[in-house]
Amino acid sequence: MKIIILGAGQVGGTLAEHLAREENDITVVDTDNERLRELHTRLDIRTVSGAGSYPMVLRQAGCEDADMLIAVTNSDEVNMIACQVAHTLFRTPTKIARVRATAYLTRKGLFAHDAVPIDVLISPEQVVTDHIRRLIEHPGALQVLEFASGLVQLVAVKAFYGGPLVGQELGFLRRHMPSVDTRVAAIYRRNRPIIPRGDTVIEADDEVFFIAARRDIRAVMSELRRLDRDFRRVMIAGGGNIGERLAEHLEHSHQVKIIEHNLDRCTQLSERLDRTVVLHGSATAKRLLEEENIEDCDIFCALTNDDEVNIMSSMLAKRMGAKKVLTLINNAAYVDLVQGGEIDIAISPQQATIGSLLTHVRRGDIVNVHSLRRGAAEAIEAIAHGDTQSSKVVGRAIGDIDLPQGTTIGAVVRGKEVLIAHDDVVVASGDHVILFVIDKRRLRDVERLFQVGLTFF
């Protein structure tokens, strides 16, 4: 595909890296020449210097014959105008834009073909907030992903010494829990992927990705590790968009406190939030954390815009007795360095957002993409179409589907029914199939599996 990305920041750069690896024709547009030079050298992609909303710059970037425009600059207005120009002057088929301001997002009918012609809206703050919310709902999980409108969840947990499954073969799970259907989609041991089989033995410290119906998630988690008690007391460092949205969602079911250093912002938050306690001060102030009884806190979420503040406040909170700490880190290089030590969960906003963008780039009827393990793996939800003549999956049992190497099917969702993927499950047209791909070089093969052959027409 010929794709133009406006904005060479964290999200734009990470997206360009993902898509360039998959042999797409990528052009990145930005006003920062130094950043463009660095991307061009590292990724061997085309770059254009200039304002992304200017018709001349879009023409120079090749908008006349582009398949897709992805506008992820830091300005909502530039992103919106760029999509309007691409639609009006160049008839670009697909236009994706990052829009952050709720003042735009809450206006019905604003983003329509005959108004501001944006086909797909991406709100990174909402994506990250949902990601954190799911982790708070599942204490002990490293990652929680939803498919098929929340009917199915893919959860990553670290297996601990003393867990019933540790030291056992995976086949034991079915005998031990006959009433709960689940499938282990992948195991990462010392950062290397293992394709699970019935005789695979789970070891302590393995990162286990399992898939199950939403209602069964806690039961399966209890087999891999001691279940943490539900989080009740939540402390949030940083009252920006993500901190505010998270507090808004949690304040009626949890005890929530926000620490914000900007006094005007504190006033705004206290007016907008109903039950959240808003504290003025620095999240790295030991005395403030002591006064607010950090040792009683179930989870401390560092969500400021400053990586160093997030890391330091999380480490301080953990040492002072917070049960769990979750840290937002923009610099992707830091994420692997800090997670697993004093910081329990490190979240990269770019990685959380990339999945929602990749959903619209994949060929075939792909309705959901989640980027995993810093982009090394992907979980995909695809819809099967066609019949036995035109499709490589419809009418076939899972055991008979010729899956690309390193790919596993975790579950099939048919209407409201969740069928965990066993070899004898037959895929029907219209089924939502959830796959785990540990080798991203095989993504094209996975897409081809779900493309309908000519006989269908």
Q: How far is 39 from 349, CA to CA, in rounded Å?
A: 19
Nearest to 297 by CA among 311, 276, 317: 317
| Amino acid letter, 314 | S
Residues of the chain with pLDDT under 70: 224-228, 336, 339-340, 363-364, 373-376, 453-457
The reply to whether 128-224 and 233-351 are identical in fold is no
Report CA Rg, the chain.
Answer: 23
Q: How far is 288 from 282, CA to CA, in rounded Å?
A: 8
Structural class in CATH, domain 2-122: alpha beta
Nearest to 240 by CA among 299, 328, 311, 312: 328
Written as one string, the DSSP assignment of 101-144 is -HHHHTSTTSSSTTSS--SEEE-HHHHHHHHHHHHHHSTTEEEE
| E strands in 36-169 | 46-49, 68-71, 94-98, 120-122, 141-147, 152-158
- State whether residue 384 is helix, strand or coil: coil
pLDDT attached to residue 455: 42
Structural class in CATH, domain 352-450: alpha beta
- The CATH number assigned to the domain with range 128-224 reads 3.30.70.1450
Return all residues near 175 (Cβ < 8 A) that are at least 6 apart: none
N-terminal to C-terminal alpha carbon distance within the chain: 24
Return all residues near 45 (Cβ < 8 A) that are at least 6 apart: 16, 20, 26, 27, 28, 39
pLDDT attached to residue 316: 95
pLDDT attached to residue 340: 63
Q: Name the CATH superfamily for 233-351.
A: NAD(P)-binding Rossmann-like Domain (3.40.50.720)
Work out whether strand 255-260 and strand 277-280 pair parallel, antiparallel, or are unpaired: parallel
pLDDT attached to residue 454: 46
pLDDT attached to residue 270: 94
- Tens of pLDDT, residue by residue over 145-164, are 888 888 898 888 888 877 77
β-sheet bridge partners, residue 47? 28
What's this model's pTM, rounded to 2 decimal places?
0.81
- Tens of pLDDT, residue by residue over 407-421, are 889 899 998 889 988
Q: Where are the domains of the chain?
A: 2-122, 128-224, 233-351, 352-450
Nearest to 325 by CA among 340, 343, 307: 343
pLDDT attached to residue 325: 94
Tokens for 93, please give them: 């088929």
Tell me how long the chain is: 457
